[in-house]
Structure 1
Amino acid sequence: MTYWLFKSEPDEYSLQDLYAETNGYGRWDGIRNYQARNFLRDKVTLEDGVLFYHSACKVPAVVGTAEVVRAAYPDPAQFDPESTYFDSRATADKPRWYCVDIRWQSEFQRPVPLAEIKQTPQLAEMVLVKQGRLSIQPVTEDEWQHLLQLGNSSRR
């Protein structure tokens, strides 16, 4: 199994929004960064674990987990002229952007804020710390386990 951190602005799409969707399933779409797209298209696979990260908010934090339930497929928004994610250069034969489907798994007992992540020696090498703006990031198994432990502890 591979692990990932997916970033989302909670006022656009939060962990609670995912939970509220049909059976906790949702499409992870709208990715318009080539490195993140390449991860989605080439590396993210069925049953991979996802850390759900709320970004661009008062306290950015890892807030829970999800699981990949459908591997990469062309993002339908790229073909929709009414969508903010429309891409006139994308065609059905040569899509430019991809998405995956995920399913809600858990909400942490407490969010794990970015400030805490940066201060935790076991997480010092995370992509989140080194290349923070990337919206889809690989996470090691040790980082995954450590964040699960932090998020499900009562420590504040």
Structure 2
Amino acid sequence: MGREKHYWLLKTEAGEWSWEDQAANGGLSNWDGARRVVGVVSVVREWYSDGEDDGGLVDVKAVGEMRRPVDLKEMKEDVGLKGFALFRQPRLSVVPVPEDVWNRVCDLGGGFGEDGRGSGSEDDV
């Protein structure tokens, strides 16, 4: 039996870590703090200690970049995302994402990388 899939939002400041940084590292990196959403990653190693001040990190691997960035203002205005925990506690750097919210954010962004949705052009319908 497979493990249940969970969705999380990991945030960062653009100048601290970008999607280009993720891709340049062979798509694999560790995540150790507040990150912004720039694409979709998969956790390939769950939380482990970084050996400093009870801190920890997880290793993530790039899955795909969003086809169109979805900014916070757009998300807050979307009826399908009403009540999303990110809006109630914006300072959190890791936020659980219900599957319906995950699907809506992906829809707003036109999907990501290799998700099978195509580029969103009429040729892909």
Letter matched to residue 26 of structure 1: S
Match of 1:127 among 58, 80, 85: 85
Q: Residue type of the partner of 1:65?
A: V
- Give the 3-state SS of the residue equivalent to 2:21 in structure 1: helix
**Secondary structure, in 3 states, of the residue corresponding to 1:11?**
coil
Normalising by structure 2, report the TM-score.
Answer: 0.79
Alignment partners' CA distance in 2, 1:112 and 1:118 = 10
Q: How many residue pairs were aligned?
A: 108
Report Cα offsets for 1:111-152 as digits up to 9, x if no partner: 000000000011111111111110011000001111111111
Query: 1 CA distance for matches of 2:107 and 2:75?
Result: 12
Alignment of 1:30-49 (within 5 A): 30=33
- For structure 2, list consecutive stretches of 5 or more residues without a partner in the other structure: 112-119, 121-125
Where is the strand percentage greater, Structure 1 or Structure 2? 1
CA deviation after TM superposition for structure 1 residue 97, in Å: 1.6
TM-score by length of 1: 0.64
RMSD of aligned alpha carbons: 1.6
For the residues of structure 2 that align with 1:119 and 1:63, how far apart are their CA atoms? 19
In structure 2, the partner of 1:7 is 11
What is the CA–CA distance in structure 1 between the aligned matches of 2:107 and 2:27, rounded to whole Å? 23
2:65 pairs with one of 100, 107, 119: 107
Q: Does the residue aligned with 2:42 lie in a helix, a strand or coil?
A: strand
User: Is 1:148 equivalent to 2:106 in the alignment?
Assistant: yes
Structure 1: tracts of 5 or more residues without a match: 32-52, 55-61, 79-86, 88-95
Identity within the alignment, %: 41
Structure 1 residue ranges, 4+ long, deviating more than 6 angstroms after superposition: none
